[in-house]
Amino acid sequence: MRHARWIAVLAALAVVTAACGNTTNEETTDAPDATTTEETDDTEETDDTEETDDTEVTEETEAADGDAVNLRWRTRPDNQAEIDVYQSVSDSIDEAWAEATLEYEPGGTETAAYQDALRTEIAGGTAPDVFWIPGTDIADFANRGLILDLREVADGNDSYAGDDAYYEGPMELLTYDPESQASGESLWGLPRDVSTFALYLNLDLIAEAGAPDPRELADNGEWNWDTFREVGQAVSELGDEIYGFGMNNWWANPGIWINSAGGSFFNEDRTACALDSDEAVLGLEYMTGLYQDQLAVPYGEDSQPPYEAGQVGMQLTGRWSTPAYRAIEDFEWDVVNIPEGPAGAVNWTFWGAYVVNANTEHPEQAFDLITRLTDGETQGQIAELGANIPSRTDDPDTIDTFLTFTPPENNQAFIDGLNSSVPEGPLWEGDWPGFDTIMAPAIEGVVAGSQSLDDFQATICEQLDPTFD
Amino acid sequence: MASIRLPSFKLPRLLDAPRWLTLLTVWRLVHALAAAAALVLVLTSETIAGPARIAGLSASILLLLLDLGGFLGLLRRRSLGRSLSLAADYLTFMGAVIALLQANGVFVGMDALGATFGRGVPYFAVALLAWLLGGAVVKEGRDSPLTRPLRIIGWLAIGAGLLAVGLLPGLATFLARTARPLPLGLLAVALLSAYLAWRTFQGDMALELRISATSQRTMDGLLFVSPNLLGFIAFFAGPLLFSLVVSLTEWDAFGAPTFVGLGNYANILSLNVQFLDAGQSASAALPAGYFTWFTVGSMVVGARDVMFWTSIRNIFVFTLFALPLSTIPALLLATLLNSKAPGIKVFRAIYFIPSIAGVVAVALIWRQLFSATSGWLNYLISRFVVFWNGLPLVPQMTDPRLQWLSDADIALFSLVIVFSWMFIGYNAVLFLAGLQGIDQTLHEAAMLDGANRWQRFRNVTLPGLRPTTFFVIASTGILTLQLFGENVVLFPTTTPIGAGPENSTLTPVVYLYDQGFRRFSFGYASAVAWVLFILIFAFTLVQFRRQRERVEG
Amino acid sequence: MPAVTGSKRRAVLNRAGLYLGLSAFGLLMLFPFAVVAFGSLKTVSDVNRYPPRLLPATQDVVEVDGEELELYRIEGQERVLVERVDIGIFAPPDDLEATVQAPTRDAERRGGFLDTETVEVDGEEYELYDVTIGGELVEGLVQLGSTTAGIFALPEDRDDTVTANVRTAQTVDSLSFQTSNFREVTDLQGLDRSLTNTLLVTILVVGGTVLTSILGGYAFARIQFPGRDAIFLVYIGSIMVPFVILIIPLYQLMVALGWINSLAALVFPFIFNAYGTFLMRQFFVSIPKDLEEAAVIDGASRWTILWRIFVPLSMPAIATLATFMFLYAWNSFIWPFIVIGGGNLDNHVLTVSLQQLGGRAANFPHLIMAGVMIAIAVPVTVFVLAQRYFVENVATSGIK
């Protein structure tokens, strides 16, 4: 028995030992080490690098191109279909590109925690070379020195299509230089795609309620806050568990009503809070009315499941919801642009960018990868998914291909939305996570009625101004 | 003299005790020089920073002191010299082994094991089964003819499992990796130190230095405790001290920390009370930098860090409800369970299940039940309302259609429900153990005195349960004060994550996570952690005092 | 005699009341599990259905003339949904309250599109329709609104139709279990990998803790050495320190070791456990000294005594410690969430995977429930097998 115990201890050790064997044989380790030695052309040393170089290498690729640069990249997946497409994008770029070996990894989460986890990994030194982050977070990452200013690399890269090949709004924010406080100087990344809100309609419920078809109203120029409310009212009267309207609870949703009322989160140059303007408060007042008159799925409840279950007449959400909704069989659906408020229908340009980890070993190749990930071909491939709108504007074909991917029939609604929209955050002169942390509960309070609009108007900017530099 | 022998193999002793003593004395000096060199290296290096620097500094200083002490001790032929020398060599051995494993990527390589481990699981299951059967056929301590074959099957299954998991390629890689200068050096150091320590530990050295029994026992004891103690220092005591230091700095984890003294604590704890004049707004009355926490009548309480104080209020309210709700019903349940009726164990098991399902699973289960649009809870309530309104002669009720997770007035109580549901059964089992420990004769005596059931419960059961009650309240309280997982799972989309509608479920740990891992204010988050620690400590202390007083009174 | 029967009756009543109370409470504890267990076998529309129902079911489909049609129960008769039509709400202009509903295809606009006849009622202008209702032509109605409805026919006679609201129509369902949900959720979130990761981590944590605790506990219990009691006091004190305070420094330590996003970060910090040492020490202290004295006289080393005498005697305590650590390692959330919650899905353990599944599959509650079932399967099985030790673990921790 005594021997048995020793064998047990040895076996446990052996298991731990076994761990490192598999590392090179089939799986990949996880520490892209900052201490990695310079890539060497010396073939004799490749053996050695295999051992010391902890960046992810698989055996086949090592065998194929011994001195290839290895790049890990990541985007936030919203569903499995998207993961698959990005994987195939990664594979085809990898195949066509001799200089580098790619490894795509989907981000872990699709909520805001994606970028929080990424920060954690950068601090831990395990973040990938290239990653996507939402537009709101660009400034925070840049100001903390977590991502590279790619301007110099871009200037030396022939395949870069130039800043004006992409949507202007995002590029203006992506090229901001916090030191000179001017746009067009730096380059923090390139937009992966853009997106915007639309109302996803349950046509069956609207027809049952006898309400006018919002798409026809929009065609006739009658799609505004009043008719929107009428449609919502009619649908919500169908039954207790039927709601006229639904949207989820994050900053962009109240933002739509504030924008369309002529208000804004920030002042024009994004250096101070502007939520106390009369227009912003008007937008909130309209939105609050929708909830207090019980037209809508309660604020803060997830409105996606009831929409998919056929309980919601109009669901405000972005283009990214399309793939999930394509699986709906129980009712007819389509999209329409958001209704016009006092200042028109002012939508968001949602965008996120591929950026380069400040600690990457290979900035040139990383930038090269970004241009490849945003070229027309790749964008078309991704647009097919239905989740995204191409971020390139220099190629009309890309937009046309996007329009042909149905359902929804009314893809034009997204292009219309983009044409009258405000690009989402970042706050170059402030702290967006801090801003959001204070704004979100305040708006929840207004909708729930625990804070009056007057109170909100009087105090909100006082609380938010400390989040600006 | 009982000592530790490595079983089944003997090493050569090479030299006799006096010569070995001389050699060891010289070795101590060499070792001291190496430790000093390491110290200089750590001090001058710019790449070694943070925890690595602290660990390097403390390790090399410790070794240096042990070496010098050991050297002097051995020179004077004191037994202490042997002890210190042993400690130095032993620590060097442990350090070298761990460094070797780390350098060969064994720890990080565990991840790959996760991929292949699944292949071994069936084999391990077979092994487990074989052993269980082997244990079952043993009767009255005697092996049956089946025991041996079963044991062999078990070992074979383990072996097969290890092969399936990838033992051989693993060992091969390990050896290949060891064949590099650094790992080879570490291996050499490890083997050398191990032999030195073993040789010094032998009986002849003990005789040579006339080692006392106490000294020998100390060595034995420390050797046994050492794996535990070293880990304890590395993963508990060290980090605890580090945390205290970090809490005095401003540090965003990407740059260098700046020392700010007690500034973080001042910012967290600052409160300001003002009385409003007629028509004055709260924000106008408070000094700059303070924001309204709450107002009562004309009194306004402001705080620099309103979110922290909100989290304190929330956790206070939460504990106020969750603590009684997860203990008092548990006590009642335990008195029910404290019966010899058949089938009682089945109930006990059922009540226990929520506590083993884990926070995440439990919270996900309740998230479905709480849904305001399709959840069971609202459905059952509205069915009840319909039923109630159908009764004659009752006031009519309206269906409340509660928004369990999106109404700021309710969200915290939804958490109370989840928490209590999870821990009632667990606490009931605790109480049950306490009840069964109460002397039955006391009950019988009280019965003879004519005490009724309530009086017996009040005067016999409750006093007898006091230690259990203390434990239940203290351990449940510690859990409530650290509420985090439930929040994150139930409120994944609020800003910050887990804070709930209007920050109504923002707890101190949720706030700590937000500060630490979303805003990357590591110093500030550490300070929050210490404040929370003091709170928890005070809570436990108060409970402890109360228990003491009652026992004494 | 009556007194005896009285007390007997009371005993029976007592027992009945006891079982009633226990069962009511048991229902409270089991019902949420039942919802999830059945929910994990539902289709997405079934799980989102309101009002909810416990058992998983799907709507029946009948084949009529080569067409697959959904089956409903309308006014007690089983009927299939043939088509959906737009319905107009019409009323005579002189009495707008007297509305009738008819498919809009049965309504004809008077005068056609070019020359529509209108009528003014209460200052509003309405178009006039001729509507066929129940085979009869009713002339001169105005349309007040519209809705939709379904035409339901008898499966055996497609000409026997009724019109009714589809959404509120009662469906004919039968039980059906979507076992494919489990595979789907496993593929979606890589739960198989999370499961083996969790197993691995749990085994290592349990094994490591038991090993270090036995060694430490033995020293604290049986070897007198200076400083022992002081160290032991620190150990006991450390049980009181909440884990939150270690999060940030431990995270930094993991960064220094390069263990972020690695399973090693979930194992090694947790195998040196003060509580376990304490538990083993308490048990070892209670073992009579004379049991080991014979062995000491035989010249057995401490190592031998520990493994040959103490450990076999301490199996209940070891099992108790093992169950405790098992639950701890299997269910721990905050630390894995922070240290491996990043993009490397391969290293996720179940708690982290489940939490992320809660976000990713928010639209698919049936998949979340399937994930929950997978995650709790192992602990519940182990609990059922080793119930005694779980309960003992709780009991000992309470008494000490």
Give the tens place of pLDDT for each residue, C338-363: 888 776 778 899 999 999 888 878 88
Average pLDDT over residues A120-129: 84
Q: Residues 251..280 of C with a Cβ closer than 8 Å to A: which?
A: 251, 254-255, 258, 260-262
Measured in whole angstroms, how far is the alpha carbon of residue C314 from the centre of its chain? 37
Taking one residue from A and the other from C, the number of pairs with CB-CB distance under 8 angstroms is 109
- Smallest CA–CA separation between A308 and chain C, in Å? 8
**Is 60 exceeded by the pLDDT of residue A56?**
no
Measured in whole angstroms, how far is the alpha carbon of residue B301 from the centre of its chain? 36
Lowest-confidence region among A6-10, A425-429, B259-263, C229-233? A6-10
Sequence spans of domains, chain B: 12-246, 271-303, 307-552
Q: Specify the DSSP element, H or E, that contains B187.
A: helix B181-201
Cβ–Cβ of A51/B177 closer than 8 Å? yes
Cβ–Cβ of B471/C223 closer than 8 Å? no
Cβ–Cβ of A300/B501 closer than 8 Å? yes
Q: Sort strands C67-74 and C77-91 into parallel, antiparallel or unpaired.
A: antiparallel
Measured in whole angstroms, how far is the alpha carbon of residue B191 from the centre of its chain? 34
Which residues from chain C sit within 8 angstroms of residue B107, using beta carbons? 257, 259, 262, 264, 268
**Is 60 exceeded by the pLDDT of residue B320?**
yes
Q: What CATH topology corresponds to A72-195+351-404? A: D-Maltodextrin-Binding Protein; domain 2 (3.40.190)
Q: Touching B: which chains, 3+ CB pairs < 8 A? A: A, C
- For residue B491, the number of C-alpha atoms closer than 13 Å in the C-beta half-sphere is 33
Q: Do domains A72-195+351-404 and A197-349+428-467 have the same CATH topology?
A: yes
Query: Does B374 touch chain A if contact means CB atoms closer than 8 Å?
Result: yes
- Nearest by CB to residue A121, choosing from C307, C342, C362, is C342
Sequence spans of domains, chain A: 72-195+351-404, 197-349+428-467
Higher-confidence residue of A263 and C342: namely A263
Mutation test of the interface with chain A: which of B401, B520, B524, choosing the one with the most A Cβ atoms within 10 A? B520
Place of tokens 């436990």: B540
Query: Does C307 touch chain A if contact means CB atoms closer than 8 Å?
Result: yes
pLDDT of residue B142: 64
Judge: domain B307-552, CATH 1.10.260.40. no
CA of A11: which chain B residue's CA is closest?
Answer: B162
For the record, the structure tokens of C94 come out as 């002189």
DSSP secondary structure letter of residue C343: S
Residues 6+ apart with CB under 8 A from B459: B446, B451
Cβ–Cβ of B8/A120 closer than 8 Å? no
Q: Touching C: which chains, 3+ CB pairs < 8 A? A: A, B
Average pLDDT over residues B480-487: 94
Mutation test of the interface with chain A: which of C168, C340, C363, choosing the one with the most A Cβ atoms within 10 A? C363
Query: Does B525 touch chain C if contact means CB atoms closer than 8 Å?
Result: yes
Cβ–Cβ of B105/A29 closer than 8 Å? yes
Give the confidence band of A61 by pLDDT, cuts at 50, 70, 90. very low
The dihedral sign for the CA sequence B164, B167, B173, B176:
negative
Cβ–Cβ of B113/A433 closer than 8 Å? no
Give the confidence band of B354 by pLDDT, cuts at 50, 70, 90. very high
Cβ–Cβ of B512/C391 closer than 8 Å? no
Q: What is the per-residue pLDDT across A81-114, written as a single tens digit (0 to 9) for each?
A: 777 888 889 998 999 888 889 988 877 655 557 8
Task: Evaluate whether B290 touches B252 at the Cβ level (below 8 Å).
Answer: no
CA distance A391 to B190: 58
Q: Residues 402..421 of B with a Cβ closer than 8 Å to A: which?
A: 403, 405-409
Which residues from chain A sit within 8 angstroms of residue B520, using beta carbons? 119, 123, 144
CA distance A389 to C201: 42
CA of A31: which chain B residue's CA is closest?
Answer: B108
Q: What is the per-residue pLDDT across B528-539, written as a single tens digit (0 to 9) for each?
A: 999 999 999 999
Cβ–Cβ of C258/A239 closer than 8 Å? no
The mean pLDDT value of chain B amounts to 88
CA of B336: which chain C residue's CA is closest?
Answer: C18
Lowest-confidence region among A384-393, B33-42, B502-511? A384-393
Give SS3 for A431. coil
Sequence spans of domains, chain C: 2-56, 58-175, 182-399
Which residues from chain B sit within 8 angstroms of residue A298, using beta carbons? 372-373, 403, 406-407
CATH classification for the domain delimited by C182-399, as one of 1.10.150.120, 1.10.510.10, 1.10.3720.10, 3.30.950.10:
1.10.3720.10
CA distance C300 to B5: 9
Q: Touching A: which chains, 3+ CB pairs < 8 A? A: B, C
pLDDT of residue B8: 47
Query: Does B217 touch chain C if contact means CB atoms closer than 8 Å?
Result: yes
Backbone angles phi, psi at A318, to 5 degrees: -90, 175
Strand boundaries in chain C, DSSP class E:
57-59, 61-64, 67-74, 77-91, 100-103, 107-109, 118-121, 124-133, 136-154, 157-164, 170-171, 173-175
Task: Evaluate whether A129 touches A362 at the Cβ level (below 8 Å).
Answer: yes
pLDDT of residue A110: 57
Mutation test of the interface with chain A: which of B373, B385, B514, choosing the one with the most A Cβ atoms within 10 A? B373
Cβ–Cβ of B356/C26 closer than 8 Å? no
CA of C146: which chain A residue's CA is closest?
Answer: A210
Q: What is the per-residue pLDDT across B368-398, written as a single tens digit (0 to 9) for each?
A: 999 988 889 999 999 999 999 999 988 988 8
Q: What is the per-residue pLDDT across A274-319, written as a single tens digit (0 to 9) for each?
A: 999 999 999 999 999 999 999 999 998 889 888 988 999 999 999 8
The conformational region for residue C81 under phi > 0 = left, psi -120 to 50 = alpha, else beta, is: beta
- Smallest CA–CA separation between B361 and chain A, in Å? 18
Angle in degrees, CA A126, B99, C275, rounded to 5: 85
pLDDT of residue C396: 66
DSSP secondary structure letter of residue A78: S
- Nearest by CB to residue C261, choosing from A30, A74, A308, is A30
Which residues from chain C sit within 8 angstroms of residue B347, using beta carbons? 22-23, 25-26
Cβ–Cβ of B2/C200 closer than 8 Å? no
Architecture of the structural domain at A197-349+428-467? 3-Layer(aba) Sandwich (3.40)
The mean pLDDT value of chain A amounts to 82
Which residues from chain C sit within 8 angstroms of residue B484, using beta carbons? 244, 333-334
**Is 70 exceeded by the pLDDT of residue B139?**
no
Mutation test of the interface with chain B: which of A301, A460, A461, choosing the one with the most B Cβ atoms within 10 A? A301
Task: Evaluate whether A444 touches B405 at the Cβ level (below 8 Å).
Answer: no
**Is 80 exceeded by the pLDDT of residue A398?**
no
Query: Does C196 touch chain A if contact means CB atoms closer than 8 Å?
Result: no
Query: Does B426 touch chain C if contact means CB atoms closer than 8 Å?
Result: yes
Q: Residues 70..129 of C with a Cβ closer than 8 Å to B: which?
A: none
Closest C-alpha to B262, from B274, B278, B283, B248: B248
Tens-level pLDDT at each residue, chain C (400 residues): 455 567 788 888 888 988 999 999 999 999 999 999 999 999 988 888 878 899 999 999 998 888 889 999 988 889 999 988 888 899 988 888 888 888 888 888 887 777 788 888 888 888 888 888 878 888 888 888 888 889 999 988 888 888 888 888 888 999 999 999 999 999 888 899 999 999 999 999 999 999 999 999 999 998 888 889 999 999 988 888 889 899 999 998 888 888 888 899 999 999 998 889 998 998 899 888 888 888 888 888 888 889 888 988 888 889 888 988 998 999 999 999 988 877 677 889 999 999 988 887 888 899 999 999 999 999 998 888 888 777 776 666 655 4
- Nearest by CB to residue A308, choosing from C84, C260, C363, is C363
The dihedral sign for the CA sequence C348, C349, C350, C351:
negative
CA of C189: which chain A residue's CA is closest?
Answer: A80
For the record, the structure tokens of C388 come out as 């005694």
For the record, the structure tokens of B492 come out as 């994944």
- Nearest by CB to residue A304, choosing from C347, C348, C362, is C362
The pTM of the full predicted model, rounded to 2 decimals, is 0.89
pLDDT of residue A16: 53
Average pLDDT over residues A325-350: 92
Mutation test of the interface with chain B: which of A9, A17, A78, A236, choosing the one with the most B Cβ atoms within 10 A? A17
The dihedral sign for the CA sequence B297, B302, B306, B309:
negative
Query: Does C362 touch chain A if contact means CB atoms closer than 8 Å?
Result: yes
Of chain B, the end-to-end C-alpha distance in Å amounts to 50
Lowest-confidence region among A54-68, A269-283, B118-132, B385-399? A54-68
Place of tokens 């010299």: B81
- Smallest CA–CA separation between A180 and chain C, in Å? 34
Q: Residues 465..524 of B with a Cβ closer than 8 Å to A: which?
A: 492-497, 499, 501-503, 514, 517-520
The conformational region for residue B253 under phi > 0 = left, psi -120 to 50 = alpha, else beta, is: left
Cβ–Cβ of B7/A2 closer than 8 Å? yes
Mutation test of the interface with chain C: which of A3, A28, A75, A126, choosing the one with the most C Cβ atoms within 10 A? A126
- Nearest by CB to residue A22, choosing from B166, B253, B372, is B166
Give the confidence band of A46 by pLDDT, cuts at 50, 70, 90. very low
Work out the widest C-alpha separation in chain A, in whole angstroms. 88
Higher-confidence residue of A342 and B252: namely A342
